[in-house]
């Protein structure tokens, strides 16, 4: 899955990861 991060960059992450985990990094 492609998640758009707050900084505007995109990162591919496992589908099982929640968006909260992405924002936490």
**For the segment 1-24, what is each residue's pLDDT rounded down to a tens digit?**
566 666 666 666 666 556 666 565
pLDDT of residue 25: 56
Structure tokens at 6: 């707050």
**Is 0.75 topped by the overall pTM?**
no
What's the rounded Cα separation, in Å, for the pair 16 and 8? Answer: 22
Domains of the chain, by residue range, sit at: 1-25
pLDDT of residue 13: 64
Structure tokens at 24: 């936490």
């Amino acid at each position: 899955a492609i998640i758009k991060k707050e900084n505007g960059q995109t990162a591919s992450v496992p589908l099982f990861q929640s968006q909260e985990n992405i924002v936490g990094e």
